[in-house]
Structures are given as C-alpha cells and as structure tokens.
Structure 1
C-alpha cells in the first residue's frame, strides 16, 4: 500500500500553500507566505550538503516530499524541485567559494540546463555572455546557474569526444538581468522567466563539473547520476499533480452521483472509472518508488543500481498520470474548464509540467 502525498505534509502547511496559490498565479511568482514556509522548512536546501547547512536528504525521502509539495500546489512543488536540484551542485563546487555562496539565510538557486551562453577563457577566469529561458523560481533566487559553451578566443573548445565543451557556472543574482518570458497556460506561479549576462567576468572557481569523479563532498548523494535524479524528481511532480486532480474529482463525482441528471448506469461508469484510475496510478507510483528506493540502496552500498528501472518508471509514471487525468477530465463538467477553478489550475499545471522534454521520449 502506497501512502497518499498528504502523508508527508502538515495540514497547516497545505493550507498556507493553497491559500496563496491564486495570488501566486496572478503575480507570476510564489507569494510571501509560501516562501516563508519554504525557508522555515529548508525545502530549497533539500540537496545542499550538510557541511553548508543543507538538509542533504536521502533521494527517496526527497522525491516523496517533492511529490507531496506538487500535490499541495504545482508551482510550489516545481520551484522547490528545480531550485533544490540546483542546490545539489554544492557537492561539486569548489570549497573555496561554496561556503560563502551557501551561507545565505534565504538561499535559492535557480537556473537553466540549456547551453545558450558562452564562456571565453581568460587568464584568471571566464567572460560570460548569454541568455537562458525558463528559470523556475528566478525571482526568489540568490544565485543562478547556467550552462555555457567554452571558448578560447573565437574558437570553441572541444571535449574528449570532439564535441563542444559545455560546463556549468554559478552567478550572483546582482550580476544577472531578468527578462519576462513565461507566458504559458500552467505553472503560472513559478515565475519561470529568462535571464541574461553580458561580458560578465567570473573567476575559475565559479565553474564546476557535474561528474561523480569531480564531487568534492564524498557522500552517496553526490555520486548518484544526475540524469536519474532529474527524471525521478520531475516524474514525482507530475504524479503529485495527478493525485491532486483525482482528489478533486471525488466531490465533483459525488455531486453528480447524488443528483438526478445522470442515469444509474452513467453514475456507475464515473464511479468505477474514478476507482479504476486511482488504483492504476497508485500501482505505477508504487513501482516507481520501488525503483527509486532500490537505486538508492545500491548508491549507499557504493554504486547506484536499477538506473534503467528508474528511467523507465519515471516515464511510465508521467505518462500514466497524464492519461488518468485526461480520461477523468470529460466527466468533470464545465467547471474543469473554468480558469478560476482549482481543478482547472491543476489540469493546466499538469499539462504544462508534463511538456518537459526530459520525460517525452523513451530512452
């Protein structure tokens, strides 16, 4: 039996998150009460090394919490997931710079995985130019990360395989210009806007490599493969949204069943459909967590295992979550299409989050 996402959150936390959700949508960013809760609980520091005052959570615990936060509200879950994911880079940053960067009381790292910048080598560091889209939580960020193509003069530096060398960097918020860019139907509270830097000099220790061989914190969390970490955390968000949608279907369907508009056979259909799809999603959730847990146990023993299962089950969970919601949607009536209704917000958030390219194609 798998736990409902609410198992991991106090009711008062859920209320704080959901009460502010409409204002977050209107403002295009998380609201003060939501952020206050995030800072109090240290949720932006899920993956930050303990040596830098982070939580350094075990992967299975973090993934379950992220599903729970996405169930509470899609934008909150997504921002915490993406920004805490960037906090994981603390395991790879130079100890010369990480303690100062991570000392901020309201630490929040936003960023982009796109390689849409350049870093030109200088004697003491790099000159950075570029712009990056869709940085969730950027309005609350204390620092930003970005991938850059490494240049030496006008020439592109190549890696060992002959491809352009791409490395991540970390910037201070004061050195970055924000650009409005998030104009989509869902995840409106994430504030996933763009940012740019122009001729920004950064020292060499602002560059790092996401590779277990280059980890500076010798803990299993920083030996775990980034790909499966990202796949699992994004899938958990989509799952949390689907569970929230199914929860909201309950009272909607009860009203229809207790009404007089539907025939007895129609009432049976919607009741049975809700039950079947709830069980279907929970079965896939259970398989997903079994893979994540097994993978983590391997990591604790010295090397992460079951990585293919984590990838496959992440994709299956995202696909199943979307299919279950879409099968239930027509039975919800017009209120599901009302942009002011919570059920519509959840539907929009799920269909926006599930567009992430990482879980689109089979590997």
Structure 2
C-alpha cells in the first residue's frame, strides 16, 4: 500500500533536497536558514495568499492547502512558518490598497504575528498609541512586519463595538517598531523561532489598521470572502498531515532495516507490514475526506454559489479536526515499532515526532466543533 496523492508530487525534487538537507542545521540554529529563506522568496511561498494586484500568487484555497501539506511533509518547521506567514499575507485583501502595494512590493515580505488581543491601541490625534506583548509569532526572526490584535481605547476607556463588547482591531507594525523576546523553548518546531514580541509606545497611522470582515474587503476575490477561520483550520490540519506522512515514509525504511538488523521472524515482520499498511489506509481515508470537504467548500465561494455554504464550512472544520487527530494517533501507534533511534534527539524520526506533537498543541484543532 502507498500514500495516495503523495505530498512529494507538489514540490520539485531539488527543492525537497534543499529543505531536507538543511533541516537539521536550521533546528540547531533555532530559525530558518538563509538558503531556506532564499528558496521561499524565489518561489513566493510567503505570498501564496497575497492579492495578485500586489504581486502575490492569490492561490485558490484547494491548491494552497495541498502545497502547505507538501511543505510540512518536507520539513515541519519550514512548513509551519510558511503557513502562519502566508496566513498573515491573506490580510492583504483587507489592507489599505496604497499601503498594501507599498509593503508587498518587497520580494522578501514576511508577516508574522498573533491573533491574541493582548495589546492596547489608544486613539490619538496622530493615530493609535500601541502597547502590548504577544506570544508565539512563528517566523519572528525572519519577518519584515508583524501583525497583532489590540483592544481599542480612548481617553483611558474601552471603545465598544455595536454589540457593546470591547472593540478589537488588528494592526501592522514595522520590524524596527517591535522588540522580539526570546521565548520559544519547546522541544519541537524548534526552527520556527516562534518567539514573543512587544511594542512600546509606538504611534501607528490609520492606514496600518484593518478589519477582517466581508464589509471591509479591499480586493474583490473569492479568496478574501472565504472565512479566515476555516482557512486557518484547513492549513493547520494540512501541516499535521504532512508531518505524519513524513513519519510514515521514514517508518518504511526503518522497518526494512529492522527486519535485517534484528533478524525478525516471519510473524514479527508481518506485524510490521500490518501496522504500516493499516496506518497508510487510515491516512488515505482521512485525507480523502478532508480534501473532498475543502474542495467542495472552496467551490462554493469560487463560483459564488451560496448553496450549502454554511454546511460545507462546518464540514471543513470537522474534517480538519478528524485529520489532525487521526494523524497524531497514527504516529503514536507507529512510534514503538521504530526502536531507540526514534527516541534519539538527533534523528530525523525524532525531529518529526517532536514537531508533530508540538504543532498539535495549537488550540484551533484541539477541541471538537
């Protein structure tokens, strides 16, 4: 049995080689390496969801999710950074057009950030006075700009929205306005450099505030009408799927070596075949269901067809969680068969195992819909 529609089909062989050969060094450096970043810039992977009118790729969601899975399969940290920074690039559909044209003209543009509203933005005559600290900004060491949510205040009092709740709006900050705080001390996704960052007494002009809402879209495209929540769920699930397939691929070689080095008998060898084939079968089924739901949901928006839109979005949320959960279960079931090499921190097996377990802690896919 094989993994159907294997992620490797989405990438050029030379790109896979470069990513894989630099992954260990990137983990040691605790950030993506210059040669990895150069490949990303050349392929415009940070610009997957940036509007075409600003020089981006503006990829269809179904194509973007498959490419994200492939990049995470090549390396978990690299795929994760691209995913999170690409998601921030999607905000280009809501930014002030002149400002968006200005920042996305940079070939090396990369937006990192946080969706947590842990900052304040006080209204002033010059714009907004920003103060705050945010966690888990993947790619923080490689970014050119940061985005972050802030609670809007005026004269020391909260500004409320039309529902009487605290008004929260996202902002864009220049790299030089931000202080990166070294805080990413976790055993997986090490090269993502997902550090904290802070902004102190920085005044931001009106053009760098935006609103994620259909009424605030600045670029007329189905991509920016599609809800960000399901876009995020699908791309994060694709990351976990890609890492799980990487682990399965490594198990194939590991199991073959184990048959020889451990002189396994026929019964033991058959058990390895059974667990590996069962893993691939379940992975194939979960991925097929996931991509069916993503494709169906995207078709609704791409063709401006409102029929069953909400039902299809719900299916994307459900299948994203099911895929992430199934991927985690499969990796954990395979792990004991891999021997001590899987527990050796310098091994590729161990890095992939650590990456998938760290990535799976993202709260968006933890609980049921």
Instruction: Give yes or no for contact 1:322–1:350 (8 Å, CA) kept in 2.
Output: yes
Instruction: Give yes or no for contact 1:256–1:267 (8 Å, CA) kept in 2.
Output: no
TM-score normalised to structure 1 length: 0.98
Q: Does residue 1:211 correspond to 2:217, yes or no?
A: no
* Residue in 2 that maps onto 1:232: 234
- Bigger shift: residues 216-225 or 303-312: 303-312
Over the aligned positions, Cα root-mean-square deviation in angstroms equals: 1.1
Distance 2:355 2:361 in 1: 10
* Residue in 1 that maps onto 2:361: 355
Instruction: Give yes or no for contact 1:113–1:147 (8 Å, CA) kept in 2.
Output: yes
Distance 1:259 1:199 in 2: 62
Instruction: Give yes or no for contact 1:157–1:164 (8 Å, CA) kept in 2.
Output: yes
* Residue in 1 that maps onto 2:269: 267
Map Cα deviations across residues 8-30 of structure 1 (whole Å, 9 max, x no partner): 01111011011111111111100
Instruction: Give yes or no for contact 2:126–2:203 (8 Å, CA) kept in 1.
Output: no
Q: Of 76, 79, 82, which residue of structure 2 is paired with 1:77?
A: 79
Map Cα deviations across residues 5-54 of structure 1 (whole Å, 9 max, x no partner): 00001111011011111111111100011111000000000000000000
* Residue in 1 that maps onto 2:201: 199
5 Å-filtered alignment, 1:203-352, equals 203-303=205-305, 305=309, 306-352=312-358
TM-score normalised to structure 2 length: 0.96
Distance 2:97 2:43 in 1: 25
- Bigger shift: residues 226-235 or 96-105: 96-105
| Matched residue count | 363
Structure 1 residue runs of 5 or longer lacking an equivalent are none
**1:145 is paired with a residue of what secondary structure?**
strand
Distance 1:270 1:339 in 2: 23
Distance 1:175 1:189 in 2: 23
The Cα shift of 1:303 comes to: 5.0
* Residue in 2 that maps onto 1:50: 52
* Residue in 1 that maps onto 2:114: 112
**2:69 is paired with a residue of what secondary structure?**
helix
Map Cα deviations across residues 331-356 of structure 1 (whole Å, 9 max, x no partner): 00000000100010000000000000
* Residue in 2 that maps onto 1:187: 189
**1:205 is paired with a residue of what secondary structure?**
helix
Structure 2 residue runs of 5 or longer lacking an equivalent are none
- Bigger shift: residues 156-165 or 102-111: 156-165
**1:160 is paired with a residue of what secondary structure?**
coil
Distance 2:165 2:354 in 1: 38
Instruction: Give yes or no for contact 2:237–2:324 (8 Å, CA) kept in 1.
Output: yes
Instruction: Give yes or no for contact 2:99–2:207 (8 Å, CA) kept in 1.
Output: yes
* Residue in 2 that maps onto 1:64: 66
Distance 1:60 1:354 in 2: 22
